[in-house]
Amino acid sequence: MKTYLVGGAVRDKLLGLDAKDNDWVIVGATPVELQKLGFTQILASFPVFLHPTTHEEYALARTERKVAKGYHGFEVNFDNSITLEDDLKRRDLTINSIACDENDNIIDPFNGQKDLQNRILRHTSISFKEDPLRVIRLARFMAQLHEFSFSIADETRLLVKDILDSGELNHLTKERLNIEFKKALNYPNVFLNTLDSLGCLETVFPNINANTNKIPQQSFFNHTIYKIATIEEKIALTLHDFDASQINLIKDELNLSNGHYKLAIAVSEIHRLATGIFVAEEILHIFKKTNLLRDKVLFEKSFELCSKLTTILDKSNLNKELSTIKLMITNIKTANIKDLSANTPNQLLAATVHKLYIDTINKLLKM
């Protein structure tokens, strides 16, 4: 039984990056043997185990054979005759098909180091086209490694076309697309532009494809404020120029969580208010539909992020507008409804409160 560090950890080490996660492969063992050593199998049908002390994931060397459509349509073989090279061959790209043994010796049967040096993303084997998710991962690596200026090998582009023509991209799950999108958030423009250049954006993200002009330019994602933002902030910042109806559609195709969706909608609508001309009725409607009047946490996070957005966009003139909008909400939330309720007939209360809110907004619009 031998253990090897493989995949992204080795790739990042060779690029001089700090590896975020270690990916371990064990050759020449069985599930029973690992369980006797204290490893815990994560899924009964899949050969991935948690180490008894480090809790890192260790996988038995395996091969995969395509038997059905989609990302899950594979038959997995992980008997103890599978070699390290067999396992590396099933991986997506040559730069991810490199291993390192316990003595720091590099095992590189598919010339991944050469492709790293030449900054080329190239498929490891023809089996690349059996897994449609690899197209998304290819675009994600272009974004993730953008600062190294990688390009995609011509022969790999041809395999992507085969995948597109086969209809396999239609079988990708929203959950997996969400995972890859979040991993590409350092440069989502590169991720989406790569999918577009491969002819796949319309199939994978049709609603984003219809509005690519709303994705910010490169300088936006180079800004320090964006770089240090959280995932939910990066999603909202990336989508700030989309309107609410467009984000509603994108929510489904990106499988956005409810929290990520609400923040994106709020930032988009606040930015729209700050850059447009609206009457009081429209403004109050936006406040209500974004839940900014009720959700204190969302209110604070949204305006804080909008302030950061104005800095990234270098539009400090919008800060005055943001302050006015924030004051409108604050004044509405602190309006003395209790006294109003005590002195107004029930049948007139709703209309009276509405008028109070409109008057509050109009007062600040005139300032």
What CATH number has the domain bearing residue 130? 1.10.110.30
| CA-based nearest residue to 98, from 25, 153, 27, 36 | 25
Q: Give the C-alpha separation, 346 to 352, whole Å.
A: 10
Do 177 and 239 lie in a common domain?
no
Do 247 and 356 lie in a common domain?
yes
Largest CA distance in the chain: 84
Q: Retrieve residue 43's tokens.
A: 């899924």
Do 165 and 98 lie in a common domain?
no
Q: What percent of the chain has pLDDT over 70?
A: 98
Do 176 and 215 lie in a common domain?
no
27: domain range? 1-117
Cα pseudo-dihedral 96, 99, 100, 106, rounded to 10:
-90
Do 105 and 154 lie in a common domain?
no
Q: Provide the pLDDT confidence category of residue 262 given band limits of 50, 70 and 90.
A: very high
Domain boundary among 100, 117, 134: 117
Q: Give the C-alpha separation, 95 to 112, whole Å.
A: 4
Do 63 and 129 lie in a common domain?
no
Task: Mean pLDDT check: name the lowest of 41-55, 169-183, 205-219, 232-246.
Answer: 41-55
* Stronger pLDDT, 274 or 67, i.e. the higher one: 274
Instruction: Tell me the average pLDDT of the chain.
Output: 93
| Edge-first strand listing for the sheet containing 57-60 | 40-43, 46-50, 57-60, 23-27, 2-6, 99-100, 106-107
| Total domain count, the chain | 3
Cα pseudo-dihedral 53, 56, 62, 67, rounded to 10:
130
Do 320 and 217 lie in a common domain?
yes
Q: What is the mean pLDDT of residues 38-61?
A: 91
Q: Does position 18 have pLDDT exceeding 90, yes or no? A: no
Coil vs helix vs strand at 98: coil
Using alpha carbons only, give the angle 132, 240, 316 rounded to the nearest 5 degrees: 145
Q: Does position 17 have pLDDT exceeding 70, yes or no? A: yes
Q: Give the C-alpha separation, 161 to 63, whole Å.
A: 24
Domain boundary among 181, 200, 219: 200
Do 10 and 141 lie in a common domain?
no
- Beta strands 99-100 and 74-77 are unpaired
Do 113 and 190 lie in a common domain?
no
Do 128 and 173 lie in a common domain?
yes
Do 359 and 221 lie in a common domain?
yes
Q: Provide the pLDDT confidence category of residue 366 given band limits of 50, 70 and 90.
A: confident
| Predicted pLDDT at 286 | 97
Q: Does position 71 have pLDDT exceeding 60, yes or no? A: no
For residue 138, what is the DSSP state? Answer: H
| Predicted pLDDT at 73 | 57
Q: Retrieve residue 295's tokens.
A: 């959700």
Do 106 and 228 lie in a common domain?
no
| Predicted pLDDT at 336 | 74
Q: Tell me the per-residue pLDDT of 279-297, one tens digit each, with 9 for 90 and over.
A: 999 999 999 999 999 999 9
Q: What is the mean pLDDT of residues 60-87?
A: 79
Q: Retrieve residue 22's tokens.
A: 């270690």
Q: What is the mean pLDDT of residues 212-239?
A: 97
Q: Tell me the per-residue pLDDT of 76-124, one tens digit each, with 9 for 90 and over.
A: 888 889 999 999 999 999 999 999 999 999 999 999 999 999 999 999 9
Q: Does position 70 have pLDDT exceeding 60, yes or no? A: no
Residue 64 maps to which CATH number?
3.30.460.10
Domain boundary among 200, 231, 265: 200
